[in-house]
């Protein structure tokens, strides 16, 4: 029997879009719980990844990329990200090594200066730069504010992520185990199913379509005859032209989206799935408070 004290805490991951926040959390968790794409603003909700060992439980909060909002959905995303500063024990401020510090990072830094918890600078994507450049990047950021620690990593390759976990463990206090040891996220399966469908749309479509869609999982039931899990999901778009893109010629695009999403959903659920998708038009839903709430983006939760 060990006398080592159990540590726990909540760790917020903040940064601009596409710096690798979701990639890092998925790597730590050992499986996908946050969707990924090269499109900005892929993550829209706060997503918790629960990392548990015999000595600690670290609850990572993957947040939407902080950007200048252009609609009510964007405003929700930014408010959602900043709200984590009020509920976490440590902040990971993640930046991309292959991109220069921008006004976006400067805006986040000004908020972080007021944080009442330790802020760790995480320089991600170090695999994309020459090692000699790292000192210059770190010096640039540390000239803007004092960080509790600085940890360079490559979330994609897994470089130095164990050191980051060890650093977090040192910052956390003794505390309870908030979640069962086999639980890896606080989100229900329906949310994860919706996100996996949305990820495939992000992957397969371009221009305005990825930002204009929402996905809801309306039903999940087990078919008694086949034993498969029957999932009914709705893809919401803002324009008739976007519906045409999602459906594709002769329905080829919607079939491709469904086939790719079903593969990931079956891995997550560990069961065979029959996925049925529908496409629905909701004009300007990203600027309608009622629609945002219906589709899981309720800003009032973060006021």
111 is in an annotated binding site: no
Is 296 part of any known ligand binding site? Answer: no
Q: Is 143 flagged in the annotation as binding?
A: no
**Residue 100 known to bind ligand:** no
> Is residue 50 marked as binding?
no
Residue 64, both tokens: 């939407």
Count CB atoms within 10 A of the CB of residue 87. 12
The answer to whether 114 is a known ligand-binding residue is: no
250 is in an annotated binding site: no
Sheet holding 119-124, edge to edge: 47-52, 56-62, 7-14, 90-96, 119-124, 149-152
Q: Is 298 annotated as a binding residue?
A: no
Distance of CA 168 to the CA centre of its chain: 19
| 279 annotated as belonging to a binding site for a ligand | no
Residue with tokens 């917020």: 12
Would you say 53 is a known binding-site residue? no
Q: Is 19 annotated among the ligand-binding residues? A: yes
Question: In whole angstroms, what is the distance from residue 101 CA to residue 124 CA?
Answer: 13
What is the 8-class DSSP label of residue 177?
Answer: -
Residues shown for the chain: 303
113 is in an annotated binding site: no
Residue 258 marked in a binding site = no
The reply to whether 21 sits in an annotated binding site is yes
**Binding residue per annotation — 33?**
no
Question: Binding residue per annotation — 16?
Answer: yes
Tell me the longest C-alpha to C-alpha distance in the chain: 64
22 a known binding residue?
Answer: yes
| 47-to-17, 59, 62, 165 alpha-carbon distances in Å | 15, 10, 5, 18
Binding residues for GTP: 15-22, 62-66, 124-127
Binding residues: 15-22, 62-66, 124-127
């Amino acid at each position: 029997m060990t006398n080592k004290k159990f540590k726990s805490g909540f760790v917020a991951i903040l940064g601009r879009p596409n710096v690798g926040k979701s990639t890092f959390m998925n790597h730590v968790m050992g499986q996908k719980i946050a969707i990924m794409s090269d499109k900005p603003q892929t993550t829209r909700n706060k997503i918790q990844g629960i990392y548990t060992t015999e000595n600690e439980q670290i609850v990572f909060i993957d947040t939407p990329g902080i950007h200048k909002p252009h609609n009510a959905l964007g405003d929700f995303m930014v408010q959602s990200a900043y709200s984590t500063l009020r509920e976490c024990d440590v902040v990971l401020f993640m930046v991309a090594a292959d991109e220069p510090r921008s006004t976006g990072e400067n805006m986040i830094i000004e908020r972080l200066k007021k944080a009442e918890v330790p802020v760790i600078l995480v320089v991600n994507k170090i695999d994309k730069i020459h090692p000699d450049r790292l000192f210059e990047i770190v010096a640039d950021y540390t000239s803007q504010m004092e960080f509790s620690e600085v940890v360079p990593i490559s979330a994609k390759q897994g470089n130095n992520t164990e050191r980051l976990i060890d650093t977090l463990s040192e910052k956390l206090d003794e505390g309870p185990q908030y979640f069962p040891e086999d639980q890896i996220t606080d989100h229900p399966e329906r949310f994860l199913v919706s996100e996996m469908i949305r990820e495939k749309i992000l992957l397969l479509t371009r221009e305005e379509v990825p930002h204009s869609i929402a996905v809801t999982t309306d039903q999940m039931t087990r078919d008694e005859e086949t034993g498969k899990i029957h999932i009914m999901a709705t893809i919401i778009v803002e324009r008739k032209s976007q519906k045409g893109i999602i459906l594709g010629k002769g329905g080829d695009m919607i079939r491709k989206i469904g086939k790719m999403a079903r593969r990931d959903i079956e891995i997550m659920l560990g069961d065979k799935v029959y996925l049925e998708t529908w496409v629905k038009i909701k004009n300007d839903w990203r600027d309608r408070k009622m629609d945002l709430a219906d589709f899981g983006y309720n800003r009032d939760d973060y006021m």
